[in-house]
Structure 1
């Protein structure tokens, strides 16, 4: 029972949010969160093969790209134009790949895990180029290019290489616990940094929460409805719903805060809460 609780991503997020609101900012929070994300990314992909079978999987790779980087990212960018106060945070969110969590979730929800695995690897490789492209396309005047390149190197490229050194050397159950602990640190520090906003700016918080609910439940729900209407295999529908509703919010928090300040990470903090609720609803088959 205890091991299940410790390895639960949803539990880690909920506790991190609560403690972040209670304790607020901590010294060297940004450095600690950066190290935590590097380790989380490294361990999370350490058991994932980066060999992509393009001939066998090309259709699923295209679908994953269209759902995550065209459909979901377009909606996020449109919301950013509507909510200018956090425009930078929305653009960074649109630029990142899906959460690594989609692979284990695909297995848990009885989706096509093999397709989700290859699609995730494909999108992470693409993200090395798409992240700077999208951020510079919309925010070139506000971005420090050196910081952007440094963050992509530390938080995306380096973890991919380091993960190969420990490829399949650590048990999956231990990786879950390590990754959840690292994400706990990231969320705890980011929520703590933004505690004043979460307590004081109630109007924007409600507006932002409404947007993130639509961004997560709306996109995933629409894809599930359309998939069922056109007779798509249930396993594939699960995958498509995941790729159309999840972004790597931990990466968004760190990248946005380092480029534009902590306020830019607020959309990702709120989005992550709704992603956790979405996970719970899908697991309980409420949606």
Structure 2
């Protein structure tokens, strides 16, 4: 029983479990897909309690990491992903799914993993916040421009950003007050993990037939996601090493470059372009998890070698 409880508490197990259940019991995803926006808003609210208001001061120290986070997240990553998808993906809806991923804000998991991977936590917090603020304005414009406003209303997309980013950010400030935070701190991790898992279940479940019947498409999706996470991250680190950059700050920038909010991508893709566009976003969740595991194992191996 204790072993089962530990599994349920493990973030990696929960997300993998969501993918498996989505493939097995995916028909139930149709029954809850209309609640995706609300699920995401709750998840984002709890996630943003990782961003302490005190970390944002002094204000003049915000500019550089905020701009860096926005440039890495929306320019470098987006340019490569959209370029790869343009040449490798023929299906319009799948391509739009990659456009959504490219313009999705960074994952809030960047903050705790900056600590785990010995990065610059304060720098990561400011970079994530900068990218989130830019999301509200950049994503509606970028998605509309790249897709030619194909069946979407930029105002609707802007309102979606307000519902899933601005309002949760404001509510999270209230939850950081001493009394509510006592409860929030106890349930935050599980609320975020299981909320994201539910969104991944919906994305996989709605497209379970594709996962079983079209392996060629899945391979192309996997290739693009591998290149824009593992390869892009390693190339960025290599360039920074050659330039003698601070490795602590480089680790935070690596996360800002490669870690996207899979839950946000799932909801935006389904809301704007339908369930098929959510297939790449389901893959995103898997590759983000794999990349974070890779960085964690690499850090453990490095520390073991240093102790010898």
Counterpart in the other structure of 2:204: 191
Measure how far apart 1:11 and its partner are.
2.0
Q: How many residues align?
A: 287
Residue 133, structure 1, aligned to residue 138, structure 2? no
8 Å contact 2:19–2:204 — kept in the other structure? yes
Measure how far apart 1:162 and its partner are.
1.7
CA distance, structure 2, for counterparts of residue 89 and residue 101 of structure 1: 21
CA distance, structure 2, for counterparts of residue 90 and residue 267 of structure 1: 6
Q: RMSD between aligned alpha carbons? A: 2.0
8 Å contact 1:7–1:173 — kept in the other structure? no
Q: Which moved further from structure 2: 44-53 or 15-24?
A: 44-53
Counterpart in the other structure of 2:73: 68
Residue 79, structure 1, aligned to residue 81, structure 2? no
Change (3 A) 1:133 1:52: farther
- Unaligned segments of structure 2, at least 5 residues: 303-308
User: What secondary structure, in the 3-state scheme, does the structure 2 residue paired with 1:277 have?
Assistant: helix
TM-score w.r.t. length of structure 2: 0.87
Change (3 A) 1:133 1:171: same
Among 30, 34, 39, the alignment partner of 1:36 is: 39
8 Å contact 2:207–2:275 — kept in the other structure? yes
Residue 206, structure 1, aligned to residue 219, structure 2? yes
Q: Where do residues 157-176 of structure 1 align in structure 2 (5 Å cutoff)?
A: 157-168=166-177, 169=181, 170-176=183-189
Residue 215, structure 1, aligned to residue 228, structure 2? yes
User: What secondary structure, in the 3-state scheme, does the structure 2 residue paired with 1:96 have?
Assistant: coil
CA distance, structure 1, for counterparts of residue 294 and residue 277 of structure 2: 28
Residue 55, structure 1, aligned to residue 57, structure 2? no
CA distance, structure 1, for counterparts of residue 296 and residue 238 of structure 2: 17
8 Å contact 2:203–2:282 — kept in the other structure? yes
- Unaligned segments of structure 1, at least 5 residues: none
User: What secondary structure, in the 3-state scheme, does the structure 2 residue paired with 1:284 have?
Assistant: helix
Counterpart in the other structure of 2:16: 14
Q: Where do residues 117-156 of structure 1 align in structure 2 (5 Å cutoff)?
A: 117-139=125-147, 140-156=149-165
Among 85, 93, 96, the alignment partner of 1:88 is: 96
Measure how far apart 1:146 and its partner are.
4.9
8 Å contact 2:45–2:172 — kept in the other structure? yes
1:88-129 deviations in whole A, cap 9, x for unaligned? 111111111111111111011111001001111111111110
Measure how far apart 1:212 and its partner are.
0.7
Measure how far apart 1:273 and its partner are.
0.8
Change (3 A) 1:55 1:153: closer
Among 24, 27, 35, the alignment partner of 1:25 is: 27
Counterpart in the other structure of 2:306: none
- Give the structure with the larger helix fraction: 2
Change (3 A) 1:149 1:218: same
Larger Rg over CA atoms = 2
TM-score w.r.t. length of structure 1: 0.93
CA distance, structure 2, for counterparts of residue 128 and residue 144 of structure 1: 14
CA distance, structure 1, for counterparts of residue 252 and residue 7 of structure 2: 25
8 Å contact 1:47–1:167 — kept in the other structure? no
